[in-house]
Amino acid sequence: MKKQFDIQRKFRFTVYVLLTVSLVVIGLSSYIFTLSVRMVEDSRQKIYVLDNGKSLLVALREDISENRDAEARDHVKRFHELFFTLEPDKEYIENNIREALYLADRSAMDQYRSFKENNVYNQVIASDISMTISTDSIHLDFSSYPYSFTYYGKQKIVRTSNITLRNLETTGHLRNISRTDNNPHGFLMERWRIVDNNDIETIRRKSF
């Protein structure tokens, strides 16, 4: 009877040992698996770049979605700065407009042609007019695609005799496209139109 009890006790001890070892192995395997997944995920967040074939640079890749809002605002701001910043220099105007048109669809080209037909650019050159723009705010709506935006800014028009401040409000939509050298943010403005571009005040310049 005693011998049978010892056998049962040894059997239970063996079962406990095997159960403990199994739990330790399962826990260790889970830890190793979790660590491996994390290492693989971290490796995907890196881009390896050869610097002239000599050194290996590691650049961390940022999640595009985290910066999309900032990129969209900068895209809209940059377009308006290029399109509405004018100096009495034909080449300067053409270069600015050319860069701006890379950022938008045909709606911007139509507005450019309208300005051209109304001799806006010829007047700027002939009358030595300088036009600059400052951004007040940009409202974006990412709840639907393509993303809608409203731009608010102030236009400053400097003439020989006076300075005119003009309100500027435009609306449009943003569509995702491939990034290029001419369009680094990967957005294309669509259905862009000017909502308000009325004078706020005109200040007469002092003559010296």
pTM of the entire predicted model: 0.69
173 Cβ contact list (under 8 Å, min separation 6): 146, 147, 148, 149, 189, 190, 191
Q: In this model, does residue 118 exceed pLDDT 90? A: yes
Per-residue model confidence as pLDDT tens digits over 168-193: 999 999 999 999 999 999 999 999 99
DSSP secondary structure string for all residues of 141-167? E-SSSSEEEEEEEEEEEE-SSEEEEEE
Give 206's pLDDT tier (boundaries 50, 70, 90): confident
In whole angstroms, what is the distance from residue 196 CA to residue 115 CA? 15
Can you tell me the mean pLDDT for 89-100? 97
Q: 3-class DSSP state for residue 136? A: strand
103 contacts 188 by C-beta, under 8 angstroms:
yes
pLDDT of 61: 47
Cβ atoms of residues 160 and 127 within 8 Å = yes
208 compared with 99, residue with greater pLDDT: 99
Check pLDDT > 70 for residue 163: yes
Give the per-residue pLDDT at 59. 46
Radius of gyration of the chain (CA): 32
Domains and CATH numbers, the chain: 2-59 (no CATH), 65-204 (3.10.450.230)
Strands 147-158, 199-204: pairing kind? unpaired
Q: Can you tell me which residue has the tokens 């403990």?
A: 20
pLDDT attached to residue 208: 52
Report the alpha-carbon distance of residue 97 to residue 84 in Å, rounded. Answer: 9
Looking at residue 54, its pLDDT comes to 45
Backbone angles phi, psi at 61, to 5 degrees: -95, 125
Per-residue pLDDT of 8-42, as tens digits, reads 666 666 766 677 777 777 877 777 777 776 766 66
Contact 179, 185 (CB under 8 A): yes
pLDDT average, residue stretch 74-99: 97
- State pLDDT tens for residues 138-148: 999 999 999 99
Pairing mode of beta strands 199-204, 162-176? antiparallel
Q: 3 falls in which pLDDT band (50, 70, 90)?
A: low
Q: If you average pLDDT over residues 113-139, what whole number do you get?
A: 96
Q: Backbone phi, then psi, for 146, in 5-degree steps?
A: -65, 155
How many other CB atoms are there within 10 angstroms of residue 38's CB atom? Answer: 10
Q: How far are the Cα atoms of 60, 73, 79, 118, 121 from residue 107, in angstroms, in the given order?
A: 37, 19, 13, 17, 18
Q: Bigger pLDDT: 59 or 172? A: 172
Instruction: Read off the pLDDT of each residue in 76-87 and give the average, rounded to a whole number.
Output: 97
Furthest CA-CA distance within the chain: 124
Share of the chain above pLDDT 70, in %: 77
